[in-house]
Structure 1
Amino acid sequence: MAQLAIVDAYQAFMSTAQPFINIGSDEQYETALETLEQVIETATDTPDDLMNPLIDMLSNAIERYEAEDEELAAFIEEAEAIPNDIALLRTLMSQHHLTGSHLPEIGDKTMVSKVLNGKRVLSRQAIEKLSARFGIRPGMFFGS
């Protein structure tokens, strides 16, 4: 009897989850992203959390859709090609609404532009100053 109940529950779940598992449109993709965000916010971040399989299922479906969508795949490939230090610096600038002239830790806005364009690297001193200013570990400029 319990076996039939689990099959019935699974079928009911799958009929509801189908658009999230087999994402076929940008609208379903956006909905899946929003749903994943909500599920992650409710999860307790422990290995035995009952939401973990759902998080995995949604994440896998989103990854499949992103890999199959040429535009998204190209965007992801381009984003992953950005060096960690430049990606972090751009993120900090965006989050704090900064321009090149707001980062004296690196130098003038011309120097910041050169760093952002990959023509110059961040000096150790600049990384230390930026880390102190934004309250982050210097190692974050080097990735994981």
Structure 2
Amino acid sequence: MMTQLLKVVPEPQAILRAWMPFKSVVGVTSVRTADDYVQARATVDALVDEIRADEDHPLADVLDYLGEQVKRYEDVHFTIPEAQPREVLRFLMEQHDLKQEDLADCAPQSRISDILNGKRAISKDIAKKLARRFNVHADLFL
């Protein structure tokens, strides 16, 4: 028999009092339009720059939440064509207007260059970092 821990469920009005200031600061909490997407994507990028690889960062949950909202929008409105992992990386870099050195949180610039030029494959470790950076599945890079 499984024992369930009973958690206190907050009153809807208490949730609303916390949600509205959050929504006001973040600017978007669900991505339904192109404008929502632009705002959420910019916020995700700022959070990634702040959090880096620190999964215990207090804003990591916000990043995960907004990243999921962005992903849902992208799944409907953008398709990434079947391509080599390095081409997927190149595509995402172009979409986000990034240079090789902008991915220093994922790999050294020289390694990114080697990957883009087909001299190196993307390692599992780098694939995970790139996936977190771009809010996509690591499988795209493997």
* Length-normalised TM-score, structure 2: 0.49
The higher-RCO structure (CA 8 Å, 6+ apart) is 2
Structure with the higher helix share, 1 or 2: 1
